[in-house]
Structure 1
Amino acid sequence: MDPNNNKPQKKLFFVSLAFSLILSTFLIFLSVFISSNPSSHFNPASQRVVDRETPRFVESKLSVSPTSTDPVPRIAYLISGSMGDGDSLKRTLKALYHPRNQYVVHLDLEASEEERLELDNFVRDEPMFARFSNVRMIVKANLVTYRGPTMVTNTLHAAAILLREGGDWDWFINLSASDYPLLTQDDLLHSLSTIPRHLNFIEHTSDIGWKEHQRARPIIIDPGLYSVHKSDVFWVTQKRSVPTAYKLFTGSAWMMLSHPFVEYCLWGWDNLPRIVLMYYANFLSSPEGYFHTVICNAEEFRNTTVNHDLHFISWDNPPKQHPHFLTVDDYQRMVNSHAPFARKIARNEPVLDKIDSELLGRKVDGYVPGGWLTQTNSNISKPEYAVRNTTDLRPGPGAERLKQLINGLLSAKDFKAKQCK
């Protein structure tokens, strides 16, 4: 082969190599020029703007959720009971029912398996509940110890279910099988439609008085935290000091909490709800202090409280551990209180029938009539209903009573003074 024939190929190779080097050098200079240009993607001034607008910590990126703008509010209810409360739960649930609301019912582990199964069948088979799919039962029941922190954890459990599955509701109300409404849901929804939805109705005070030495300093253990058999709380010998990282509050265990505050208790983005929950795990009657302490130590919520539990409860003076059971003799005082709920009412107490007939217009084993519902027959054993527009409210005297109560609370001269003081 003639060696001179390789010269054109070598020349072509060197020309290609030279062109590649020139192109690479040009690209390197171009990239250096762009990176040093003030108008390029890396701009210190623009970086400072980003630093100001983007929070550094995850806690500051989380904020209180906006409240609903729906003209008619929605309520999320927890109705809880124990052994023998199954029938009372059914009655209270029907007296409280409205298609716009959401409901969770709970029978704790002290109730028999048969009683809980009967309640579960009732929830699943009731045609009205099936139609609107807004009633749920906590099938995996919790063991709830009276006066113990398991009452708090059960409330948080129900609230979590309602947040995940209950859609857009505005307030959360916790009730027991011994609670009963003193007005219709049309009355309640109509009255609440005119007030700010960030408000939390929770009776509270920082004046814990004798509770410091009898509840805050002693340490109790709730067997419901680790046992499947119900028993009372017990005390350990050690005492503890009162917290200094936050201030203790106490009050009623029954409340109406806003959606944003319930969400905060479960998300707890600044850790306060979890810290306080750990403390109240060893606190006697923790349902009377946990939510009160959280709300009054959280900057976002301490000015959202209304100091009332929306209940009529008859106490001794001074109060004992348990309130009186209400009877027909207390009926007029219940009505005059303007409260939407009353407790404690025993199973099958005659005053329940009086409330049904005179305040709720409810037939035996029926629903409470309202703008959304009318009974189409007079058969007491098998009533039939016609369902209309669920946003059609027909408030009655109960709405006027509740409006007087709420307006009085919100317009009181000492309203702000009673907020977390």
Structure 2
Amino acid sequence: MRILTDVCRCVHPYMHTRTPIHRAEETWSWLHRAEADAVNPNPPSLTWTAARKCAVGSALFLLSFRIFGYTGKFLSLYDVSTCNAFPTARSSSDMLRKDEPLHFLRLHPASRLPLSTSAQAFIPKLISEDPHPSPLITLETQDGYFSHRPKEKVRTDSNNENSVPKDFENVDNSNFAPRTQKQKHQPELAKKPLSRQKELLKRKLEQEKGKGHASPGKGANEVLPPGEGAAVNSSHGKDAPRQPHARKSGGSSPEIKYDQPPKCDISGKEAISALSRSKSKHCRQEIGETYCRHKLGLLMPEKVTRFCPLEGKANKNVQWDEDSVEYMLANPVRIAFVLVVHGRASRQLQRMFKAIYHKDHFYYIHVDKRSNYLHRQVLQFAKQYSNVRVTPWRMATIWGGASLLSTYLQSMRDLLEMTDWPWDFFINLSAADYPIRTNDQLVAFLSRYRDMNFLKSHGRDNARFIRKQGLDRLFLECDAHMWRLGDRRIPEGIAVDGGSDWFLLNRKFVEYVTFSTDDLVTKMKQFYSYTLLPAESFFHTVLENSPHCATMVDNNLRVTNWNRKLGCKCQYKHIVDWCGCSPNDFKPQDFHRFQQTARPTFFARKFEAVVNQEIIGQLDYYLYGNYPAGTPGLRSYWENVYEEPDGTHSLSDVALTLYHSFARLGLRRAETSLHTDGENSCRYYPMGHPASVHLYFLADRFQGFLIKHHATNLAVSKLETLETWVMPKKVFKIASPPSDFGRLQFSEVGTDWDAKERLFRNFGGLLGPMDEPVGMQKWGKGPNVTVTIIWVDPVNVIAATYDILIESTAEFTHYKPPLNLPLRPGVWTVKILHHWVPVAETKFLVAPLTFSNRQPIKAEEALKLHNGPHRSAYMEQSFQGLNPVLSLPISPAQVEQARRNAASAGAALERWLDSLVGGMWTAMDVCATGPTACPVMQTCSQTAWSSFSPDPKSELGAVKPDGRLR
């Protein structure tokens, strides 16, 4: 029986030459012969003749024909590890590989056959048609092993700034889409129709009144990106490992409490969903009140007055003339730049500010209220210039939120009330923008068209725009989220327009929008207070219907780097109940787009120095010339990720753990590399938490972390402040000897995968036991192939294995295997095989934690976190049978050592952590930020790598005689 099962894992390569009828007939014929062979006390040798009798392989060929049609590729049912063990069978499977199987499905000795969802629907019918069912094989379709990721649907183009894709009708904008977060299973909701789900949900909410509030996990409203398989929705219990392949519906319903009961019956499915997902009592109260006011007809205007005397849409044509700069008008315009910024990229912001600054203009800067580090940096440089001010108020300007429009309207009011700032134009920018023409060119152009307003329209029929933009839906912003609450009508009497939320508006129109109390402005402000992406439509609609309608120019004077295939992956559904797009960062190959001279464009977006700084340098040198030879720091970039005033509460336990370890690694380098025998002048003892942490890039390559930390010099017993540079070691390795498979270029494991820019936002790959790593592969062009990915934990337990179909044009693939947590700390290995021949491998570190909730971890908690999942079961399936095939023995001594490590705490835990970190990271250098007793240690400002080293491209100094900083 076992021999037959092994043989049946290798599939007959000639079945594709048979017709469907012949394949069906041979299938059942071979079933009988296979059954006879199974009881033969002297089974035939493992030759391809025996393999031809594999009934299961034949049946799966027939199954693949039924599911996929005949395309020359077929569904495979085999375990090539078995074929590797039997040379004859392996050579036959190599023949099969010429046509590359679509899926990789395992047949275990216990005859369990986990299948994909599509296959499960056909298996019972296929078996029921067998006139002589075979007792040899039992199919268990309940526990599916989804080994092959579905291909992601390509999103097509659209014209407005952040719109949904053109294939909007195929995009699921439901509030009930599958969620990636772990949620309590509600089986009674799983298979009910929507109306029944609403009744059950309302009933559960009523039943839970009076009970303790059960807040959903972080990002409980998240949904899967298109094309991703559903992840785990089950909760983590103490002794109940996650069930990674189960499909679960619904989510735990929080108790809903109101300060005042809602004034209506909340029956809309969107509103019910929003109430069940919102986290705060205040937000739920606001959702209920808003929904009821809308239901009672008290929220939205029904009719609005149009004041534009023109019929249809006005659009003035403007021309760009390079020679116009030479004829600067006697009264040049003065510009109010409103910078709406967030994040921590202070040096990129300063470089952009340096490029757009002129003493004749005005700069009003709003920093997101969640970006305290950046706010401190902006306040510091704003004090140097009289024409720069920072908003005394701050909002959380989430993507697509109503707060962004509120920010612009409040900024306009502030600017108009600044009587000492006589500005003519309002221009909004972000830190991801950069000028592509000089200040003189911009001023000359706007002076020529000083009565115009520049906004980019969507460029398609309004009905389609309204539907795709969600203007006919009611939204509410609270808890830093845009909740969709239901449908609404567009007010009668006006034409709705929209497009990009980046614009240039003249002072007259800004005054009208800010101070007018006419029917159009007041009702549009009310309407757009409950609108998704309101800044993309409010100013367009008001201008087009106002007395100023003749001043509209359908051009916002920007170049935006749209790549819809990458940028429209619904990546903001954790922030808004809608599907949106975002532009990509510019790269050096895009530079030619800035050199066109026909169109009047003056700014471009987006730029991001952590993705590519070279393009910013190219553009900067193109506009203002090169820096003098020998200028330091031109190819370097530093970005802060932590500073002491932020507080350790802003750090994860993983980050805090590793930052401490990096600092100790630096102290050991100082002791071994700078220390001389008989002296303690370069020996240190660490003190306190790290003071700051920076990412360090050189020539657009991540170079590691810079940790500023305090330590006591043991020679003089004085506290010193040092900065340590740690760099990750290279962990990607091509197999030796190299295989003949040449498409793989690189592989990496991390978290926070950015599918738009195709990189991990978790620079350095800092992972802990409770993280969910993603495996990424980068490919060169070539024929369609299937590769096998194997994840191996620190004690050689095979945690996951799956196949990925690599299409000929694929550049990147990524997949997050649904592993049970916690992961065992230590160095993990991800192996990549083609035809089960090793191609390459990469490693990554899962760090044991020395902190829990930013406090030193206790021994009992460390044991729970560091001992791996229950029974070392990362998935429901066990891949133990592959260990001998892959030469990965599980050593009892190694397992015992891992158990002892898991039980360690205090100094022993730190030693274990530091030994792991030292194997994956290198302390490249250490410097002192101030006085030091170590005579051979450099001062940080004199190094080329330190965050204290010179950075002229981003440093802001005195205004030059020509009025500029750059």
Alignment TM class, shorter chain as reference = 0.5 to 0.7
Q: Is the 8 A contact 2:585 2:607 kept in 1?
A: yes
Higher relative contact order (CA 8 A, sep 6+): 1
Partner of 1:116: 375
SS of the counterpart of 1:76?
A: strand
Matched, 1:210 2:464: yes
- Give the number of equivalent residue pairs: 296
Partner of 1:358: 622
Q: Is the 8 A contact 2:513 2:521 kept in 1?
A: yes
Instruction: Return the structure number with greater strand share.
Output: 2
Partner of 1:411: none
TM-score, normalised by the number of residues in structure 1: 0.64
Give 1:159 deviation, angstroms: 1.6
User: Structure 1: which amino acid aligns with 2:378?
Assistant: L
Q: Distance in 2 between matches of 1:386 and 1:96?
A: 12
Q: Distance in 1 between matches of 2:341 and 2:952?
A: 27
SS of the counterpart of 1:282?
A: coil
Q: 1:282 to 1:167 in 2, by over 3 A?
A: same
Partner of 2:331: 71
Q: Distance in 1 between matches of 2:959 and 2:381?
A: 20
1:309 aligned to which of 532, 553, 556: 556
Alignment of 1:6-25 (within 5 A): none
Partner of 1:44: none
SS of the counterpart of 1:189?
A: helix
Give 1:327 deviation, angstroms: 1.0
Partner of 1:347: 609
Deviations 1:51-72 (A, max 9, x none): xxxxxxxxx9xxxxxxxx9611
Q: 1:325 to 1:209 in 2, by over 3 A?
A: farther
Partner of 1:31: none
1:143 aligned to which of 377, 396, 421: 396
Q: Is the 8 A contact 1:216 1:242 kept in 2?
A: yes
User: Structure 2: which amino acid aligns with 1:221?
Assistant: L
Deviations 1:311-368 (A, max 9, x none): 0112246984111211111111122255110001113522111111112337589xxx
Partner of 1:328: 588
Q: Is the 8 A contact 2:432 2:607 kept in 1?
A: yes
User: Structure 2: which amino acid aligns with 1:134?
Assistant: N
Q: Distance in 1 between matches of 2:365 and 2:956?
A: 23
Give 1:386 deviation, angstroms: 6.9
Instruction: Return the structure number with greater helix share.
Output: 1
SS of the counterpart of 1:80?
A: strand
Deviations 1:366-419 (A, max 9, x none): xxxxxxxxxxxxx958897674476x9xxxxxxxxxxxxxxxxxxxxxxxxxxx
Partner of 2:89: none
Q: Is the 8 A contact 2:342 2:374 kept in 1?
A: no
Partner of 1:296: 544
Partner of 1:251: 499
Matched, 1:152 2:405: yes
SS of the counterpart of 2:351?
A: helix
SS of the counterpart of 2:395?
A: coil
Deviations 1:113-134 (A, max 9, x none): x33122101111x3xx1xxx11
1:219 aligned to which of 474, 477, 481: 474
Deviations 1:153-200 (A, max 9, x none): 11112222221225221111011111110122122112333x131100
SS of the counterpart of 2:535?
A: helix
SS of the counterpart of 1:273?
A: helix
Give 1:86 deviation, angstroms: 3.0
SS of the counterpart of 1:105?
A: strand
Report the RMSD for the aligned CA atoms in angstroms: 2.8
Q: 1:122 to 1:386 in 2, by over 3 A?
A: closer
Q: Distance in 2 between matches of 1:308 and 1:387?
A: 32
Q: Is the 8 A contact 2:381 2:956 kept in 1?
A: no
TM-score, normalised by the number of residues in structure 2: 0.29
Q: Is the 8 A contact 2:338 2:427 kept in 1?
A: yes
Q: 1:213 to 1:383 in 2, by over 3 A?
A: closer
Partner of 1:170: 424
Alignment of 1:94-113 (within 5 A): 94-112=354-372
Deviations 1:291-319 (A, max 9, x none): 00000010x21000111010011224698
SS of the counterpart of 2:332?
A: coil
SS of the counterpart of 2:339?
A: strand
Q: Distance in 2 between matches of 1:323 and 1:353?
A: 20
User: Structure 2: which amino acid aligns with 1:155?
Assistant: Y
Q: Distance in 1 between matches of 2:450 and 2:439?
A: 17
Q: Is the 8 A contact 2:456 2:555 kept in 1?
A: yes
Give 1:211 deviation, angstroms: 3.4
Q: Distance in 2 between matches of 1:273 and 1:362?
A: 48
Q: Distance in 1 between matches of 2:604 and 2:364?
A: 19
SS of the counterpart of 1:155?
A: helix
SS of the counterpart of 2:550?
A: coil
Q: Distance in 2 between matches of 1:190 and 1:202?
A: 19
Q: Is the 8 A contact 1:218 1:235 kept in 2?
A: yes
Q: 1:362 to 1:79 in 2, by over 3 A?
A: farther
Partner of 2:639: none
Matched, 1:242 2:490: yes
User: Structure 1: which amino acid aligns with 2:397?
Assistant: V
Deviations 1:207-265 (A, max 9, x none): 33433234111111111xxx5xxx331111x2111210322111111111001000111
SS of the counterpart of 1:116?
A: helix
Moved more, 271-280 or 71-80: 271-280
Runs of 4+ aligned structure 1 residues displaced above 4 Å come to 362-365, 379-387
- Sequence identity percentage: 25
User: Structure 1: which amino acid aligns with 2:442?
Assistant: L
Q: Is the 8 A contact 2:354 2:956 kept in 1?
A: no
